[in-house]
Amino acid sequence: MSALCQALARYVRMRRGFGYRYRDEERCLGDFIAFMDAAQATVITRALAMAWITQSQRTSWPNRLSAVRGFARHLSNVEPETEIPPAGIFPSPKRRHPYIYTEAEIERLLDATLSWGLAKGINRRTYHCLFGLLAATGMRLGEAIGLERADVDLEAGLLTLRVTKGGKDRLVPLHPTTSRALADYAARRDDCRICRKSPWFFVLRGGQRLRLQYPERIFIGVMRRIGLRDTEPRSTGPRIHDLRHTFAVNTLLRWYRAGEDVERLLPMLTTYLGHSKVRDTYWYLSACPELMGEAASRLEARWETAS
């Protein structure tokens, strides 16, 4: 094992000790070290880093740069000749503008899901409850389908999320109506002997765990049926992830309209959504014109009071 491989192993252990899963980054940096070994290089240089970063697809350059910069900063503590690639040389891809669903559209989505596919089995109820949970909590799809039975405490109205983007467990409190809906689903699910034996909370009729592509495919089909997406095969339109955006935007709007101190409450929403940085939550203020209007009105009111 090369010295760089050993250094990477120590670095990954350190990152995981901070609570990060660090799986994709470990795989990425493993490729980088293989590139350096092939070049018979033992010290990271900007030239080597840029040569490796730019040999992939352009959309991956910002993430690869971020991974190498972190590793290089770590190595520079013990290897002074390590060169840290400069930050910000590759602009991050622009985030897609979110689609904000109305309450009526979400109700249509959920109603149509109950009539999608075979009437026999639990599948309809699974997708209906899954989409409803995403709309009610703003969870990521992967977080929801990763729920195990032990992660769902309906008496306390609390979910424990273990499959998260940042690799850190977090708790999600539920509204009583959401807890009741999940309890109803759980009872229907357990009426089936095969499903009752499954360790997963959301299951298909054979008791198997959902995979990401299943709810995404069903979601697109239902959205086309209710007219919220074009029927063309390659068409785009509102996504399942926009349920998360809708939850975040509506939460901020409620706070503004209730006269709450949004700047003080924003870190709470950041934690609830599982964002790693508050700036990821601030993004909604610029992504939604209605929020921009509320923020501008609040600012104007402060100026008038000050004057």
- 90 to 20, 70, 86: CA distances (angstroms): 24, 16, 10
Residue 147: other Cβ atoms inside 10 A: 24
> Nearest-CA neighbor of 100 among 144, 129, 127, 135?
135
The values of phi and psi at residue 166, to 5°, are: -85, -5
> Nearest-CA neighbor of 127 among 237, 204, 187?
204
Residue 104, burial from CB neighbour count under 10 angstroms (0-12, 13-18, 19+): exposed
Counted residue by residue, the chain has a size of: 307
Q: What is the spatial distance between Cα 262 and Cα 180, in angstroms, rounded to a whole number?
A: 30
- 49 to 32, 53, 83, 168, 301: CA distances (angstroms): 8, 6, 9, 29, 50
Which conformational region is residue 200 in: left (phi greater than 0), alpha (psi within -120 to 50 degrees), or beta? beta
For 86, the token pair is 């400069």
Which residues are the active-site residues? 140, 165, 241, 244, 275, 284
E strand intervals along 16-140: none
For 278, the token pair is 């508050």
